[in-house]
Every structure is written in structure tokens, then in C-alpha cells.
Amino acid sequence: MKIWTASALSFLLVSGFACAEKPTEQSVKEFLEVSKGKETFQQIEKQLDTVLDNFNREADSGKSADLQKQKAVEKFKAKVLSIRNEAMNWDKLESMFIGIYQDSLSQEEIDGLIQFYRSPVGQASLTKMPQIMLKTNQQIQVTLLPMMDKIKLARQDLKEEFEKIDKKKK
């Protein structure tokens, strides 16, 4: 009886580990491909470029008539893009993602995700997700602005309270 129990326990442990097999690099790359990881990264790059352009416009404050300042802004933009491209390029990120997915998911889970993203529903979710994320971010900002105003007021109240405490100590 003990041998049967030990054998059954060993089988369960081994089969449990077999189900949690680490995904292969190739399968994670396949997942990144079907889930449009590179395309998503490229969209993020474009968004960062837009943010940088807006920042440059704000820094210039519409005074681009000054040619030296305009050249300085363009030089700054080129420098920031160079820094970004060195730190964030798809080859580096893909390698990082592979490690993260291999550490976080099993082969069975990666296979399931690949199957899902190849399905019509998975493809639809990939197509619609950028719009969903944009709307989500917009709604979060709408929610956060009043909250931030209240936090600023609370911080001002705290500052005033500290001033009162300091006056009492004198």
C-alpha cells in the first residue's frame, strides 16, 4: 500500500511539473508575433514621438522665429530620439519579453494564448485593444484630475497646519 501511495504521489508531482513546463523561446516568439507585440511597440514609439513633438512645441512656446532656438530644439529632439532608440529597441525588448514570459507562463499557457490570438475573437481583441486603452486612459485622466486638485488642497492644508504647529513652538 505504501509503495502504491508513494508511486501515485510521485506520478502526481511529476505530471504537475510536466504541465508547468517552461515555454520555449520559439513559442514565446510565436506568441509575440500573433499578439502583434512588435506592432504594439511601434505604436508606442509613435506616441512617444508625438509627446516629444508636443514637448518641443511647448519649450519653444511658438517663438520658432528665432532660428537658433529652432535648431536647438531640433538638436534636443535628435538627442532624445537617439537615447530612446538605444535604450528601447525591439531586439532588446523582445529578449526581455521572452524572459518574462518564460518565467511567468507555462508552455501550455503560451500555446493557449497563441491559439486564442489566432482565433477571430483574439484578432478582434488585438484590433480593438488600442482604442480600448486610449479610452481607458482618457477616462482615468478625467477621474484623476479632480482627485489631484483635492490632494493639492489637502497638501496645502497640511502645510498650513505645520505652520501653525511651528508658530506654537516659538
Among 15-19, 36-40, 65-69, 84-88, name the one with the lowest average pLDDT. Answer: 15-19
pLDDT band at 59 (very low <50, low <70, confident <90, very high): low
Quote the pTM value. Answer: 0.62
Quick one: what percent of the chain has pLDDT higher than 90? 45
Residue 137 has pLDDT above 80, yes or no: yes
Residue 122 has pLDDT above 60, yes or no: yes
Decide if 83 is inside a domain: yes
Number of structural domains (the chain) is 2
Say if residues 133 and 73 touch (Cβ distance below 8 Å): no
Place of cell 482615468: 140
pLDDT band at 60 (very low <50, low <70, confident <90, very high): low
Residue-range definition of the domain harbouring residue 137: 122-170
Say if residues 91 and 108 touch (Cβ distance below 8 Å): no
Residue 9 has pLDDT above 80, yes or no: no
**Pair (26, 108) in one structural domain:** yes
Contacts 24+ apart (CB under 8 A), 86-89: 88/45
Decide if 6 is inside a domain: no
Place of cell 530612446: 84
**Pair (130, 113) in one structural domain:** no
